[in-house]
Amino acid sequence: MLRKMYPAEEIHSGRKSFNEYLVRMKLQFKFFFNALYRLDRALKLNRKSALVRGNRGMVLSQLGHEDEALAEYERALAIAPKNPIIWANLGNTLERLGRYPASLEALERSLSLDPASATTHYNRGVNLARLNRHHEALVAFEY
pLDDT digits (tens, 9 = 90+) for 31-65: 777 788 888 888 888 889 999 999 999 999 988 99
CA 143 – CA 93 distance, rounded (Å): 22
Task: Give the pLDDT score at 10.
Answer: 41
pTM of the full structure: 0.77
- Are 82 and 62 spatial neighbours (Cβ–Cβ below 8 Å)? no
Residue 63 class from Cβ within 10 Å (0-12 exposed, 13-18 middle, 19+ buried)?
A: middle
Q: Over range 13-18, report the average pLDDT.
A: 50
For residue 143, how far is the Cα from the chain centroid?
21
DSSP secondary structure string for all residues of 17-40 = HHHHHHHHHHHHTT-HHHHHHHHH
Helix intervals (H) in the chain: 16-28, 32-45, 50-62, 66-79, 84-96, 100-113, 118-130, 134-141
Q: How far is CA 119 from CA 14, 87, 131, in A?
A: 33, 13, 19
Q: How confident is the model at residue 16 (pLDDT cuts 50, 70, 90)?
A: low
Q: Over range 115-122, report the average pLDDT.
A: 95
> Mean pLDDT lowest for which of 37-51, 71-85, 116-130?
37-51
